Amino acid sequence: MSTHTEHQAQRGPEPLDVNDPRLSRFEVVQEGARRDDIEIVHYEPQVVPGSKAERRLTRTVALMFLLTGVFATAFLVVYIWWPWQWEPGRGGDKLYTPLLGVTLGLALLGIGFGILTWGKKLLPKEVSIQDRHDQVDDPEGRKITGETMLYLADEMGVRRRPLLGISLLAGLAPVGAVAAAPLIGGLIEQPHKNNQMFTTGFQPGEGGKKIRLIREDGRPIRPADVSVGGQLTVFPGIDGGVSNKHADSPTLLIHLREDDAQKSRAANERKGHGDYMWGNYVAYSKICTHAGCPASLYEQQTNRLLCPCHQSQFLITDNAKPIFGPANRPLPQLPIEVDEEGFFVAKSDYTETIGPDFWERP
């Protein structure tokens, strides 16, 4: 006789009818355990229902879940409304990332400690041994499984301790919202506010006032400031034009040699940008169209502009077309001219988006 058969012979009483309405849920669970050859070798009962100890533990677990909700809500508030951009005279942006980490970390700790306390202090503990054997699914087996699941729910005490269920829901709902924070933030705080994705610091000001090209120290630039074959990094002459607020605005102003200027002018004509140059001067965005790195290594003899990050190369005399590397889009060209005082200005903003492409681009 096999071990399994021997064990069956030693199980004791005949199987109960699990569909008998006189059986309690626990008796159905016990019958299922007997049929599965499960032996409970140790059972430690839970705290006495309704006792002070149970109420104290229930309040402790509920407090942890509620704190989870508080910190998750704080995460959402920081994520959406806390100032994250640097502005002169304001240092709150430095706390943005630390606050996100602290609030989310405390929320997750609240969940963890709450579940641990619930499981270790409020749920009964048992050690069971089950013989391994083949199982055949049948209607009674499904009945036993369903009653077992309901019994486990009763053992967790959610129905008898509604405070736990309410606090768990109140704590986990904001945590779920945290996962959707990028979507929620985008619905509340318009990510394309002031059309920032499509404009730079060279966007004309009030009344169509044209923006000057300036050095990093704020001085405007005259044509004589750039020698033949030379180049200069320029910025929009506006408040914060050289700061990260207008990080998409750095531009390379290049004074081409005569022969090279003729080639560039012809290429501009083919593209419909015949009036983008001023004399032998051209201006192209320094933001690489591959990954947004600064394309700033200009080879005067070959008129190639190299991006040091991934070695994309752009031919300046052919509308800054990419000729090597992973970039697949030319650098945008800034239309320029000289104002009545002899300083370079942008005739308009860039007519193409700066840097890597993005899905909202028309």
Which tens digits make up the pLDDT trace of 93-134? 888 899 999 999 999 999 999 989 988 888 777 777 877 666
Which is it for the CA torsion 208, 213, 219, 223, positive or negative? negative
331-351, pLDDT tens digit by residue? 999 999 999 999 999 999 999
Q: How far is CA 312 from CA 191, 244, 256, 257, in A?
A: 29, 24, 21, 23
pLDDT confidence of residue 152: 63
198-218, pLDDT tens digit by residue? 889 999 988 889 999 999 999
Q: Would you give the distance in Å from CA 257 to the centre of its chain?
A: 47
Q: From 362, 290, 294, 297, select the one nearest 330 (Cα to Cα).
A: 290
41-92, pLDDT tens digit by residue? 776 777 777 788 888 988 999 999 999 999 999 998 998 888 877 666 677 7
Stretch (H or E) spanning 299: strand 297-299
Q: Is the pLDDT of residue 193 over 80?
A: no
pLDDT class of 135 with cuts at 50, 70, 90: low
The one-character DSSP state at 331 is P
Check if the beta carbon of residue 281 is closer than 8 Å to that of residue 337: no
Average pLDDT for the chain = 84
Q: How far is CA 37 from CA 2, 119, 275, in A?
A: 14, 26, 89
Count the neighbouring beta carbons within 10 Å of the beta carbon of residue 88: 8
All structural domains of the chain: 3-188 (no CATH), 206-346 (2.102.10.10)
